[in-house]
């Protein structure tokens, strides 16, 4: 018979010990040490065992916790520890047999039951330590969002953000201390919320409304979404490039010669598990890429300032690579030598010299060559005519 785990993670609600399950009570009675945020320790009152406040920042508490292995320890977390909670972080440091989790109702579940919202039709976000811009891809009329915020002061900040993005008509339902004696529900329009006065813990449900622009779901978003100095893969070419790159869940992209970051950003928008590194040699463009990524809700984009191939050497190996700038024979040969077999590679060429490089690469490594010729209607005297852009040759290959 296997030994009981030494660590128990208990999801604690705002009603303190009253809401605990029988299993949680049993674990708590057997505990030698109870650890939790000061707020949780205040909810449970005096304990017969030792209690310790979890330090801030959260990471400072990991090593002292691991030193307690062999003793019976309870760690308090809010609600469901594995939904935007501490559970996932703790589990990464422990073997499966070392811990157990006894969850309580999550803030999202409590909020949905107050509002009558079906959770499967709601997007849920934990923004305790993340920027409000993470919401940008989800802001569209009639969308429903539930957001966990760091404290009461973040509520008016959310209202300002929604208003600035053109969604000031959204209804905000502010839910404080759900499930406890201090529970309070406040309904207000985002553009009418003037002051704070909200207490932690707090979450906000948003029924999105307004005239703001919704970020399109398909690849090839309009160029206007990206701040650029002219160095950008234009919308139609970007759509075809993303189609060739074919983002998949949990994949990493190298975006070489990031420019405005549009390719990497759209890769990240494809799915929350996608990752990307954008390489850009110019400092001003690297800063612009980071700003674009943050504004469009994908601040997880990693931006490396430096030229390829030198800047690529210490990075995690990707599943897909796009070369949007700095295409050279040396770079192609370096990638062929260092990338893992099966890596997808897409490169776009505009000049005759870089087009020649892609022709040689296709002869050497196979793959497909596509010539993209685009024209747009523009004024021609009193009428209109077609104005052609420079043709682009795209090489797509699986190495």
DSSP secondary-structure letter at 241? H
pLDDT digits (tens, 9 = 90+) for 12-36: 999 889 889 999 999 999 999 999 9
Give CA–CA dist 325/345, Å, rounded: 14
Strands 392-398 and 344-349: antiparallel
Q: Residues with Cβ < 8 Å from 83, sequence gap 6 or more?
A: 106, 108, 124, 126
Q: Is the distance from CB of 14 to CB of 43 less than 8 angstroms?
A: yes
pLDDT digits (tens, 9 = 90+) for 307-345: 999 999 999 999 999 998 889 999 999 999 999 999 999
* 3-class secondary structure, 88: helix
Segments in the chain below pLDDT 70:
1-2
Q: Is the dihedral of CA 352, 355, 361, 364 positive or negative?
A: negative
What is the Cα gyration radius of the chain? 26
Residue 296 sits at φ, ψ, to 5 deg, of: -95, 10
Structural domains in the chain, sorted by start: 7-105 (3.40.1010.10), 108-207 (3.30.950.10), 223-398 (3.40.50.150)
Alpha helices in the chain (DSSP H): 22-30, 38-44, 62-66, 87-91, 107-115, 154-164, 235-245, 262-270, 283-295, 329-338, 352-365
So what's the pLDDT on residue 2? 52
Give CA–CA dist 365/368, Å, rounded: 10
Strands 7-12 and 99-102: parallel
So what's the pLDDT on residue 74? 97
Give CA–CA dist 89/59, Å, rounded: 9
Give CA–CA dist 288/105, Å, rounded: 41
So what's the pLDDT on residue 326? 87
Give CA–CA dist 16/14, Å, rounded: 5
By the 10 Å C-beta count (0-12 exposed, 13-18 middle, 19+ buried), 215 is classed as middle
Longest dimension (CA), the chain: 89
Q: Is the distance from CB of 94 to CB of 28 less than 8 angstroms?
A: no
So what's the pLDDT on residue 282? 95
So what's the pLDDT on residue 1? 38
**Distances, alpha carbon 41 to alpha carbons 37, 86, 132, 168, in Å:** 6, 16, 29, 38
Q: Is the distance from CB of 189 to CB of 171 less than 8 angstroms?
A: yes
């Amino acid at each position: 018979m296997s030994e009981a785990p030494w660590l128990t993670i208990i999801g604690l609600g705002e009603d303190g010990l009253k809401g605990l399950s029988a299993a949680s009570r049993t674990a708590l009675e057997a505990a030698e040490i109870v650890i939790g945020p000061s707020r949780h320790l205040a909810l449970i009152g005096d304990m017969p065992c030792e209690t310790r406040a979890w330090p801030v920042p959260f990471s400072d508490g990991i090593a002292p916790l691991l030193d307690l292995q062999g003793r019976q320890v309870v760690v308090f977390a809010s609600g469901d520890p594995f939904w935007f909670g501490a559970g996932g972080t703790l589990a990464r440091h422990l073997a499966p047999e070392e811990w157990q989790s006894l969850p309580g109702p999550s803030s999202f579940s409590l909020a949905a039951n107050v509002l009558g919202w079906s959770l499967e039709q709601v997007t849920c976000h934990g923004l305790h330590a993340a920027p409000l811009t993470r919401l940008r891809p989800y802001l569209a009329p009639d969308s429903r969002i539930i957001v966990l915020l760091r404290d009461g002061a973040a509520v008016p900040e959310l209202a300002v953000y929604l208003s600035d993005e053109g969604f000031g008509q959204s209804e905000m339902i502010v839910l404080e201390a759900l499930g406890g004696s201090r529970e309070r529900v406040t309904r207000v329009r985002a553009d009418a919320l003037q002051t704070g006065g909200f207490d932690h813990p707090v979450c906000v449900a948003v029924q999105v409304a307004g005239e703001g622009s919704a970020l399109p779901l398909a690849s090839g978003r309009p160029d206007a979404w990206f701040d650029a100095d002219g160095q950008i893969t234009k919308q139609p070419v970007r759509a075809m490039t993303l189609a060739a790159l074919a983002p998949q869940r949990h994949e990493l992209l190298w975006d070489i010669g990031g420019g405005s970051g549009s390719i990497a950003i759209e890769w990240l928008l494809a799915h929350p598990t996608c990752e990307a590194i954008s390489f850009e040699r110019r400092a001003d463009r690297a800063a612009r890429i980071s700003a674009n990524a943050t504004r469009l809700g994908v601040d997880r984009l990693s931006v490396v300032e430096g030229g390829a191939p030198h800047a690529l050497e210490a990075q995690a190996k990707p599943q897909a690579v796009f070369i949007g700038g700095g295409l050279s024979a040396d770079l192609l040969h370096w990638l062929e030598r260092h990338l893992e077999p099966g890596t997808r590679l897409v490169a776009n060429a505009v000049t005759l010299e870089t087009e020649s490089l892609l022709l040689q690469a296709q002869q050497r490594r196979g793959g497909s060559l596509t010539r993209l010729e685009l024209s747009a209607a523009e004024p021609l005297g009193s009428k209109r005519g077609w104005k052609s852009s420079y043709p682009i040759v795209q090489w797509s290959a699986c190495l």
